[in-house]
Amino acid sequence: MPSLNLDQTIRAWSTIADNVFVPHSEAEYERLVEICDSLIDHVGEDETHPLASLMEVIGVLIENYEAEHVPELEETF
């Protein structure tokens, strides 16, 4: 298993932490949605794009927030 270079990780994280975070409020959730929308506009459906995995990670963060905080609509038939 590759070792984690913490110094390198700290430097990298400090540059992206404002854009990749677990949302704990509606405002943070909305910020992530804006970031994701921008990534979608830039990356599109290109799975080989350098930012494609970042878009996926942010999408998962958004989905997790929604699962916990957004009530599901009840279907009526």
What tokens appear for 23 in the block? Answer: 């949302």
- d(CA 53, CA 48) in angstroms, rounded, equals 9
Q: What are the tens digits of pLDDT across the range 53-70?
A: 999 999 999 999 999 998
- d(CA 56, CA 44) in angstroms, rounded, equals 12
The pLDDT of residue 72: 78
Distinct helix (H) and strand (E) counts, the chain: 3, 0
Q: What are the tens digits of pLDDT across the range 9-34?
A: 899 999 999 999 999 999 999 999 99
Instruction: Work out the pLDDT band at 46, boundaries 50, 70, 90.
Output: very high
CA-CA-CA-CA dihedral for 29, 52, 38, 64, to nearest 10: -10
This model's pTM is above 0.85: no
- d(CA 77, CA 75) in angstroms, rounded, equals 7
Question: What is the domain partition of the chain in residue ranges?
Answer: 19-69
Comparison of pLDDT for 74 and 46, the residue scoring more: 46
